[in-house]
Structure 1
Amino acid sequence: MKLKNIFLLLFIYILVSISSQQPQQQQQQQNFIELFKPVQLIYPDSNHDRLIINESSINLLNSVLSEDRLSVLGVVGTFHSGKSFLLNQLLGTTDSFTVGPTVHPQTIGIWMWACRIKDDNGKQHNLLLLDTEGFYSSNVSETYDAKIFAITTLLSSHLIYNSVKIIDQSALEYLELLSRRTQLFALKSQIKSNEMNQEILGLNNILNFPSLTWVVQDFFQDIGDETPTQWLNNLLKAHSRDKGVDSSLISITDIFPSIECHTLFLPSGDRNILRHLNKAKSNDLNPIYIKELNELKSTLFKNDNDNGGGGGKSKLTGPSISTLLRLLIEVANGNKFPTVPSIWSGFIKQQQQSALEDSIIAYKDKMSSITNEDSFSKPPLCLKEFEKLESQSNNYATNLYKQLLFGLEEAYKPGQQKLERLLSDNHQYFLKENYFKIQNYCQRIYNEMIESFENQLESIKIPISSKHFNHQTSILKNEIINQYKEITKQYNLNRNQNQNNYFEIFLNSLEKDIERLINGKQLQNRNEIEILLTKSIDMISERYKSYMNQLDLPITLEQLKNEDKKHYNQLLNSKFKQITEVAHEESYYQPFKSMAEKQLHQLFQYFQEINEQKILEKSKFESDQSILDFKKSVSQIILPIEEESLVKSMNEFKIRSINSYKNRLEPFRNSNSYSTQLNKLESSLEKQIELKLNENVTQMKWIVMESLDTVRVMMISRTPIFWFQHSYENEAYREAEKRIIDKIKSKPLRDKVIKQFINNDLKQQLNSLFKLSTILLTLGIILIFSILISFSTIKK
Structure 2
Amino acid sequence: MAEQIKVTRSDSFENVSKFSENSDTMMSGDAKLSSSEQYGAIQIVKSEEKHKFILDHEALERILLQDHIKDKHVVVVSVAGAFRKGKSFLLDFLLRYMNFTYIEEVPNGDWMGPNDVPLEGFSWRGGSERDTTGILMWSHVYLATLTTGEKAAVVLLDTQGTFDSESTVRDCATVFALSTMLSSIQIYNLSQNIQEDDLQHLQLFTEYGRLALADTGTKPFQRLQFLVRDWSFPYEADYGEEGGRKILERRLQISEKQHAELQSLREHIKSCFSEISCFLMPHPGLKVATNPKFDGRLKDIEPDFKESLSQLVPILLAPENLLLKEISGVQVKAKDLVQYFKSYLNLFSGDELPEPKSMLVATAEANNLSAVASAREMYSSLMDGVWGGNQPYLKMTQYLV
TM-score bin, normalised by smaller chain = 0.5 to 0.7
5 Å matches for 1:49-88? 49-63=52-66, 65-88=69-92
State which of 133, 139, 149 in structure 2 corresponds to 1:108.
133
Q: For 2:26 and 2:301, locate their aligned partners in 1 and report how far apart those are by CA, in whole Å.
A: 24
Given the superposition, is the C-alpha separation of residues 293 and 271 from structure 1 closer, same or farther in structure 2, using an over 3 Å criterion? Answer: closer
5 Å matches for 1:237-276? 237=253, 241-244=257-260, 249-251=265-267, 252-271=269-288, 275-276=292-293
Q: For 2:335 and 2:144, locate their aligned partners in 1 and report how far apart those are by CA, in whole Å.
A: 24
Given the superposition, is the C-alpha separation of residues 41 and 235 from structure 1 closer, same or farther in structure 2, using an over 3 Å criterion? Answer: same
Q: TM-score, normalised by structure 1?
A: 0.33
Given the superposition, is the C-alpha separation of residues 211 and 272 from structure 1 closer, same or farther in structure 2, using an over 3 Å criterion? Answer: closer
Given the superposition, is the C-alpha separation of residues 120 and 186 from structure 1 closer, same or farther in structure 2, using an over 3 Å criterion? Answer: closer
Given the alignment of the two structures, is residue 152 of structure 1 paired with residue 161 of structure 2, yes or no? no
Q: Note the C-alpha offset of 1:73.
A: 0.4
Q: Letter of the 1:257 partner, please give it.
A: S
Q: For 2:218 and 2:89, locate their aligned partners in 1 and report how far apart those are by CA, in whole Å.
A: 29
Given the alignment of the two structures, is residue 232 of structure 1 paired with residue 248 of structure 2, yes or no? yes
What residue in structure 1 maps to residue 4 of structure 2?
none
5 Å matches for 1:701-712? none
Q: Note the C-alpha offset of 1:144.
A: 1.8
Q: Letter of the 2:47 partner, please give it.
A: P
Q: Letter of the 1:262 partner, please give it.
A: F
Higher RCO (C-alpha under 8 Å, 6+ residues apart)? 2
- Percent identity, aligned pairs only? 23
State which of 194, 217, 223 in structure 1 corresponds to 2:229.
217
Q: Letter of the 1:220 partner, please give it.
A: S
Deviations 1:550-583 (A, max 9, x none): xxxxxxxxxxxxxxxxxxxxxxxxxxxxxxxxxx
Given the superposition, is the C-alpha separation of residues 303 and 220 from structure 1 closer, same or farther in structure 2, using an over 3 Å criterion? Answer: farther
Deviations 1:769-788 (A, max 9, x none): xxxxxxxxxxxxxxxxxxxx
- Unmatched segments (≥5 aa) in structure 2: 1-19, 28-38, 98-118, 357-401
CA contact (8 A) 1:105 1:137 kept: yes
SS of 1:210's partner is strand
Q: Note the C-alpha offset of 1:281.
A: 1.7
- The structure that is helix-richer by fraction is 1
CA contact (8 A) 1:150 1:182 kept: no
Q: For 2:212 and 2:349, locate their aligned partners in 1 and report how far apart those are by CA, in whole Å.
A: 14
What residue in structure 2 maps to residue 516 of structure 1?
none
Q: Letter of the 2:229 partner, please give it.
A: Q
State which of 279, 285, 302 in structure 2 corresponds to 1:286.
302
State which of 307, 319, 329 in structure 1 corresponds to 2:335.
319
SS of 1:242's partner is coil
Q: Note the C-alpha offset of 1:311.
A: 9.7
What residue in structure 1 maps to residue 314 of structure 2?
298
Given the superposition, is the C-alpha separation of residues 50 and 165 from structure 1 closer, same or farther in structure 2, using an over 3 Å criterion? Answer: same
Q: For 1:214 and 1:293, locate their aligned partners in 2 and report how far apart those are by CA, in whole Å.
A: 14
Q: For 1:39 and 1:171, locate their aligned partners in 2 and report how far apart those are by CA, in whole Å.
A: 28
What residue in structure 1 maps to residue 353 of structure 2?
337
Q: For 1:79 and 1:168, locate their aligned partners in 2 and report how far apart those are by CA, in whole Å.
A: 16
Given the alignment of the two structures, is residue 133 of structure 1 paired with residue 152 of structure 2, yes or no? no
CA contact (8 A) 1:41 1:57 kept: yes
Given the alignment of the two structures, is residue 99 of structure 1 paired with residue 99 of structure 2, yes or no? no
Given the superposition, is the C-alpha separation of residues 247 and 262 from structure 1 closer, same or farther in structure 2, using an over 3 Å criterion? Answer: closer
Q: Note the C-alpha offset of 1:248.
A: 5.5
Q: For 1:306 and 1:92, locate their aligned partners in 2 and report how far apart those are by CA, in whole Å.
A: 16
Q: Note the C-alpha offset of 1:238.
A: 5.1
Q: For 2:212 and 2:26, locate their aligned partners in 1 and report how far apart those are by CA, in whole Å.
A: 31
Deviations 1:668-702 (A, max 9, x none): xxxxxxxxxxxxxxxxxxxxxxxxxxxxxxxxxxx
Q: Note the C-alpha offset of 1:285.
A: 2.1
Q: For 1:34 and 1:82, locate their aligned partners in 2 and report how far apart those are by CA, in whole Å.
A: 32
Q: Note the C-alpha offset of 1:50.
A: 3.8
Q: For 2:79 and 2:333, locate their aligned partners in 1 and report how far apart those are by CA, in whole Å.
A: 20
5 Å matches for 1:530-545? none
Q: Note the C-alpha offset of 1:158.
A: 0.9
CA contact (8 A) 1:154 1:186 kept: no
CA contact (8 A) 2:146 2:322 kept: no
Q: Letter of the 1:77 partner, please give it.
A: G
SS of 2:44's partner is strand
5 Å matches for 1:301-380? 301=317, 305=321, 307-309=323-325, 314-334=330-350, 336-338=352-354
Q: Note the C-alpha offset of 1:49.
A: 3.0
Q: Note the C-alpha offset of 1:328.
A: 0.7
SS of 1:300's partner is helix
Q: For 1:235 and 1:206, locate their aligned partners in 2 and report how far apart those are by CA, in whole Å.
A: 24
CA contact (8 A) 1:216 1:262 kept: yes
Q: For 2:245 and 2:123, locate their aligned partners in 1 and report how far apart those are by CA, in whole Å.
A: 29
SS of 1:254's partner is helix
- The structure that is strand-richer by fraction is 2
Q: For 2:218 and 2:123, locate their aligned partners in 1 and report how far apart those are by CA, in whole Å.
A: 30
5 Å matches for 1:480-559? none
CA contact (8 A) 2:223 2:275 kept: yes
Q: For 1:152 and 1:34, locate their aligned partners in 2 and report how far apart those are by CA, in whole Å.
A: 29
Q: Which has the larger radius of gyration?
A: 1
Q: For 1:108 and 1:338, locate their aligned partners in 2 and report how far apart those are by CA, in whole Å.
A: 21
What residue in structure 2 maps to residue 467 of structure 1?
none
Q: CA RMSD in A?
A: 3.8
Q: Note the C-alpha offset of 1:324.
A: 1.0
Q: For 2:262 and 2:59, locate their aligned partners in 1 and report how far apart those are by CA, in whole Å.
A: 48
Q: For 2:334 and 2:145, locate their aligned partners in 1 and report how far apart those are by CA, in whole Å.
A: 22
SS of 1:167's partner is coil
Q: For 2:185 and 2:26, locate their aligned partners in 1 and report how far apart those are by CA, in whole Å.
A: 20
Q: For 1:213 and 1:311, locate their aligned partners in 2 and report how far apart those are by CA, in whole Å.
A: 18
Q: For 2:46 and 2:184, locate their aligned partners in 1 and report how far apart those are by CA, in whole Å.
A: 22
SS of 1:231's partner is helix
What residue in structure 1 maps to residue 12 of structure 2?
none
Given the superposition, is the C-alpha separation of residues 165 and 245 from structure 1 closer, same or farther in structure 2, using an over 3 Å criterion? Answer: closer
- Unmatched segments (≥5 aa) in structure 1: 1-27, 191-203, 341-796
Q: Letter of the 1:96 partner, please give it.
A: G
Deviations 1:173-204 (A, max 9, x none): 233x24336548979xx9xxxxxxxxxxxxx7
Q: For 1:273 and 1:72, locate their aligned partners in 2 and report how far apart those are by CA, in whole Å.
A: 32
Q: Letter of the 2:48 partner, please give it.
A: D
Q: Letter of the 1:116 partner, please give it.
A: Y
